[in-house]
Structure 1
Amino acid sequence: MKRGQHLLVIAAAAAALTGGASLLGNGYYLRIAFMMCVYYMCAAGMNVLVGYAGQKSLGQAGLFAAGAYAMALLTTRTEMSPWIALIFAAVISGICGVLIALPSLRVKGPYLAMVTLAFGIVIEKLVSDWTDVFGGAQGISGIRPLTWNGHPFSPLQWVWFGIILCAITHLLLRNLLQGRFGRAMRSLQSDEIASSSVGVRVYRAKVVAFVVAAVTCGIAGALVAQQNQYINSDFITFDLSIFILLLVLFGGAGSIYGPLVGAVILTLIDALLTSWPSVQHFVYGFLLLFALYVMPAGVVGLFSKWFKRTKEEVLSWDRIAPTRPGLVGDGELLVVHGVTKSYGGVKPAQDISFRLQRGHIHALIGPNGAGKSTMINMLTGVVDPSAGSIRFLGQEIVGRPVHTICCLGIGRTFQNLRLFADLSVLDNVMLGRHSRMENGFFASLTALPSARKQELATRGRAMQLLDLVGLAHLASQAAGNLPYGLQRRVELARALATEPQLLLLDEPAAGLNPQETAELGQLLVVIGKSGVSILMVEHHMDLVMSISDHVIVLDYGIKIAEGTVAEVQANPRVVEAYLGVDEPIAV
């Protein structure tokens, strides 16, 4: 659905819901409807963190508390307007999101969940024990609610406001997640190394996800405090963190509509089980396990196949030059001097030096275990050399982050495919242009014209590159569903999308049949003629010798030869490394 159409649908749905709320004369039902809005706010942000960025958090109760107690303290101890206090509560929650993200993101997997859990427990103990500030079990009362025309919101007005706020949140997050930042976050779940190799600043993307989750959860906490005009430590429990996580997993993590489904269903279940707390906890535990093991894609995932498009999306683009020309001409592009890498007593690279020229196709060859892939990883920042210098375009790149090296103009593929398998072929290639897009967070969040222009330009460029590698007709297919040889082409197109001046290919012909290898060779020649210099690691000697201008040979981490194809073929050390020599037979 196009953005304009979606906006109209959401506006119509919000109008219908506000009208329907007017028919709920019972205050209890209005309270349930309001809590649906509150839980949706929590779940929508949590979905960004868990469903898109893949970061497991169990500390959302602490962020809920940040918003609630910020609102309580600002409205009871100052004369600040409740509307302004709501904004400040969101900001304070966002700051808390940064504070929890900084230590949390230095660990992964279950350790990340443990760190966020510890944060939630610390906040729970803080609000319960620091009674002078937070009131403990007695809590803080007299919180000033939102007002309209000088009068506090009625229960119906709270529901109206909640619906409008949820609609705005949905539209903003949809803008964010269907563009540059959404693709970057989803790439983190598949492969962080591949993500950084196409220019995604992995750490910053995770922090953004934490902040989004913190702000929405903090706003939800502030709304509860204002609506109740009271908050105490009983609101801030570990059960709340589990419930918010369950909202996302049950509804459908990674789906823009999953949080809505989870909030509606689980709020109704919560209301039905209020009188039986022990049963309530059992049901939550059962639903969490059920969501994890029986329907990992959530309720939305069960029905998503009914709404899949029955025909391929028609994509159009302008067919122009296949790649952006690099700096054509003579001169040195990359200078490697005295590079050494050691892992204890093992040295896959020993005092290696070479120079790559602009506009040339270079090959890095050698027997298995010669250190070729290690060299590629050092050139792209995945591995730091133990000694030596690597200068690209005159700049020292040793010690620089992977995404920075990509932005400088070095693109790469991997020896073992590192595609974002769950993303479409088109999204994989569009991710390659992440660092070349100029729209920032707020432009993407609000879908400013500049952001939409960038998105269209990136989409068009990606389609050009897919046309170059012969995959334009498969743009909407999941990359992981393609045959191996076609996946190799997707990875090549993604690397080209970074607009490199130097393209590093780590065994691009691995797993290809002879015809596919020949077609790859022709494609690399076309890319080279467009101004992109190439350094490829390859074992297919026919491919190497037919297209290379310059060959570098490694053996056990040592450079044993360098020169033209003819010079390398005639070098006795190269022959010995590949074929071995006959040992004299002892008599």
Structure 2
Amino acid sequence: MKAPAHFALVGVVAAAFIGTAVALGNDYYLRIMFMMCVYYICAAGMNVLVGFAGLKSLGQAGLFAAGAYSAALLTSKYGVNPWLAFALAAVISGAFGVLIALPSLRVKGPYLAMVTLAFGIVVEKLVTEWTEVFGGAQGIYGIGALTWQGTAFSSIQWVIFGVALAVAIHLLLRSLLASRFGRAFLSLQADEIASSSVGVRVYRAKVLAFVIAAVCCGIAGALVAQQNQYINSDFISFHLSIFILLLVLFGGAGSSMGPLVGAIVLTLVDALLSRWPFVQHLIYGLLLLFALYVMPNGVMGLFQSRRGSSKAVKGAARHSVTPIFSAGRRGAQADGSMLAVRGVSKAFGGVKPAKDVSFSLCSGEINALIGPNGAGKSTMINMLSGLICPDEGSIQLNGTDIVGRRPHDICTMGVGRTFQNLRLFGELSVLDNVLVGRHSRMANGFWSSLLGLPNARREEADAAQRATAILEFLDLDQLSDTPAGSLPYGLQRRVELARALATEPQLLLLDEPAAGLNPQETAELCDYLVKIKNQGITMLMVEHHMDMVMRVSHHIVVLDYGVKIAEGTPAEVQSNKAVVEAYLGTGAVAHA
């Protein structure tokens, strides 16, 4: 849905919600509607963490508590202005988001959920047991409420403020998630290694997702504390963490409308079952199992597939006149060389896939790295791209040593790659996959993307133009809106190549690009590689198709058990006895 139509729809929904609140007038019903807004704010933030970044968290109650108790202590004990305290509660909650994110960066899946669960339990025990500060079960009274013209908000004003805040958060997050940050989050969920290889700063993106969720939960906690003017440890429980997670999963993780559906439906269920807590907990457990196993895409998944960003930028992506391979043309140095590998060694226990390997690549050429299975070719590609750090030696790109740098830094320096086993973002469209490749080349920052500023929109439009031009270059433009994972294998290989080209590489690393292709697809790949080389991009490919290697390569490096045994032109390598022996064996050569 285009932005003007979406804004109009949001305005209509908000107006209808406020109109209903005014018509009802009953404080009980207004309280329910206010809690819908509170839970929506929680769910909208958690949707970024769970639905987009794919990071399961059970520590939301701790983040809710950070906001609630920050507002409570600042206003009741330190006399801070309620509005200032509300803003500071969001900031403090964001800081706790960083705190919970840091130990979570090295774990995934259920282990991540356990780490966040531990955080929530620690906070719950802290506010329960440290009565001198947090009041425990007795709680904190006299919390400063938000005011209008010197008077505390009435029930209807709280609903109106909650709706306004929910609308603002929805629109801000929609703008952010439609930008390169949203695509980065989705790429994390699909494949962190591939995400890093195209320039996404994986750790930073994870921390950002945690902070967004923390700020939203903190705002919700501050709202509850200041509306009640009272908070105690009963508000902070594991039950709350499960409920907030359920809001996202039930409504539809990854859907912009899922949090709203979850907040409305489950808040009503919560109100209806409030008299029977044991039934309430049972129903939540059943709903959670139902959402996980029966309806994994939530209620909204029944009506729509996951939203990609390609439609949002598709209109601006036609008739590109922007050059798409400028980085490749900048790669040539005065002496013609680009990459220098000097004395590189790597060992995994007793296995040594690289032993004092040295070679150099000249700009604008197609180079091949060949050798029998187990020769160390993929290990060398992984060291060049930063996935593996060599034990010894240096790797210099245009005179700069890249050893020890992270994959996203090496990508930014001008090294793109594909993988031996496909690492596409399968649920994203073809265009979105290529747009993720543009991530490190885009200049729009977090705040400009969040606020939807003109420079962010220009960056998105330019990225869409370049991505579409690359798809046209590789004859994929007719498939731009197709989910990448649904394509035939040969086309998926080409999409991965397009994504690597979107990083504007000076050096393109291809790890067995023809693996699994039929003869016709292999011949087409050769033609595409020549086209790419003619754009000034240097390539190094690992490949077992010798006819392909000899057809397109200018320079070949041969490895055998981690040792370089030959180097030269295709003709020189073909006639090298050591190469023949490595492939066929000494006995076979003697027999011949």
**TM-score normalized with structure 2 length:** 0.96
Q: State yes or no: 1:421 paired with 2:426.
A: yes
Aligned match for 1:398, one of 374, 379, 403 = 403
Matches of 1:569 and 1:585 in 2, distance apart? Answer: 17
Q: Could you tell which deviates more after superposition, 286-295 or 3-12?
A: 3-12
Report the counterpart of residue 543 of structure 2 in structure 1: 538
SS in 2 for 1:552: strand
**Structure-2 change in CA distance of 1:379 and 1:269 (3 Å):** same
Q: Deviations along 1:23-79, whole A, 9 cap, x unmatched?
A: 012111101000000000111101101111111110000000000000001111223
Q: State yes or no: 1:120 paired with 2:124.
A: no
**Structure-2 change in CA distance of 1:320 and 1:209 (3 Å):** closer
Q: State yes or no: 1:358 paired with 2:363.
A: yes
Which blocks of at least 5 consecutive residues in structure 2 are unaligned?
none
Deviation at 1:6, TM superposition (A): 1.6
Report the counterpart of residue 15 of structure 2 in structure 1: 15
State how 1:373-392 maps to structure 2 within 5 Å.
Answer: 373-392=378-397
Deviation at 1:511, TM superposition (A): 1.2
Aligned match for 1:442, one of 447, 453, 471 = 447
Residue type matched to 1:67 in 2?
G
Aligned match for 1:316, one of 295, 311, 318 = 318
CA contact (8 A) 2:65 2:123 kept: yes
Q: State yes or no: 1:494 paired with 2:499.
A: yes
Residue type matched to 2:527 in 1?
Q
How large is the RMSD of aligned CA atoms in angstroms? 1.8
**Structure-2 change in CA distance of 1:50 and 1:225 (3 Å):** same
State how 1:139-178 maps to structure 2 within 5 Å.
Answer: 139-178=139-178
Deviation at 1:584, TM superposition (A): 11
Q: Could you tell which deviates more after superposition, 501-510 or 73-82?
A: 73-82
Deviation at 1:8, TM superposition (A): 2.5
CA contact (8 A) 2:371 2:560 kept: yes
Matches of 2:448 and 2:154 in 1, distance apart? Answer: 35
Matches of 1:307 and 1:225 in 2, distance apart? Answer: 35
Matches of 1:555 and 1:85 in 2, distance apart? Answer: 66
Matches of 1:247 and 1:317 in 2, distance apart? Answer: 42
Q: Deviations along 1:322-357, whole A, 9 cap, x unmatched?
A: 522333465221110111111111111111000011
Residue type matched to 1:323 in 2?
F
Q: State yes or no: 1:516 paired with 2:518.
A: no
State how 1:35-434 maps to structure 2 within 5 Å.
Answer: 35-304=35-304, 316-318=318-320, 321=323, 323-324=325-326, 325-328=329-332, 330-434=335-439
Matches of 1:137 and 1:538 in 2, distance apart? Answer: 67
Deviation at 1:138, TM superposition (A): 0.6
Matches of 1:83 and 1:121 in 2, distance apart? Answer: 29
Deviation at 1:13, TM superposition (A): 2.2
Deviation at 1:21, TM superposition (A): 1.2
Residue type matched to 1:220 in 2?
A
CA contact (8 A) 2:417 2:510 kept: yes
Q: Could you tell which deviates more after superposition, 208-217 or 522-531?
A: 522-531
Deviation at 1:577, TM superposition (A): 1.3
Q: Percent identity?
A: 68
Residue type matched to 2:211 in 1?
V
Matches of 1:267 and 1:65 in 2, distance apart? Answer: 19
SS in 2 for 1:362: strand
Deviation at 1:546, TM superposition (A): 1.1
Report the counterpart of residue 471 of structure 2 in structure 1: 466
Q: Deviations along 1:264-312, whole A, 9 cap, x unmatched?
A: 000000000000010000000000000000000001101226999xx99
Deviation at 1:321, TM superposition (A): 4.8
**Structure-2 change in CA distance of 1:327 and 1:583 (3 Å):** closer
Q: Deviations along 1:487-529, whole A, 9 cap, x unmatched?
A: 0010000000000100000111111111211111111111111
Deviation at 1:320, TM superposition (A): 5.6
**Structure-2 change in CA distance of 1:348 and 1:247 (3 Å):** same
**Structure-2 change in CA distance of 1:29 and 1:320 (3 Å):** closer
**Structure-2 change in CA distance of 1:584 and 1:123 (3 Å):** closer
**Structure-2 change in CA distance of 1:320 and 1:274 (3 Å):** closer
SS in 1 for 2:403: coil
Matches of 1:160 and 1:451 in 2, distance apart? Answer: 30
**Structure-2 change in CA distance of 1:307 and 1:454 (3 Å):** closer
Deviation at 1:17, TM superposition (A): 1.7
Deviation at 1:404, TM superposition (A): 0.3
Aligned match for 1:452, one of 438, 452, 457 = 457
Deviation at 1:579, TM superposition (A): 2.0
Q: Could you tell which deviates more after superposition, 511-520 or 254-263?
A: 511-520
Deviation at 1:566, TM superposition (A): 0.9
Q: Could you tell which deviates more after superposition, 477-486 or 317-326?
A: 317-326
Which blocks of at least 5 consecutive residues in structure 1 are unaligned?
none
Matches of 1:504 and 1:4 in 2, distance apart? Answer: 43
Report the counterpart of residue 481 of structure 2 in structure 1: 476
Q: Which 4+ runs in 1 deviate beyond 4 A? A: 305-308, 311-315, 319-322, 583-586
**TM-score normalized with structure 1 length:** 0.97
SS in 1 for 2:586: coil
SS in 1 for 2:23: coil
CA contact (8 A) 2:66 2:96 kept: yes
Deviation at 1:542, TM superposition (A): 1.3
Deviation at 1:109, TM superposition (A): 1.5
Matches of 1:452 and 1:538 in 2, distance apart? Answer: 40
Matches of 1:584 and 1:155 in 2, distance apart? Answer: 90
Deviation at 1:106, TM superposition (A): 2.0
Deviation at 1:372, TM superposition (A): 0.5
CA contact (8 A) 1:322 1:468 kept: no
Deviation at 1:114, TM superposition (A): 0.8
Q: Deviations along 1:128-176, whole A, 9 cap, x unmatched?
A: 1111111111100001111111111111110111111101110000001
Q: Could you tell which deviates more after superposition, 318-327 or 386-395?
A: 318-327
Matches of 1:348 and 1:306 in 2, distance apart? Answer: 42
Matches of 1:75 and 1:133 in 2, distance apart? Answer: 14
Residue type matched to 1:578 in 2?
Y
SS in 2 for 1:337: strand
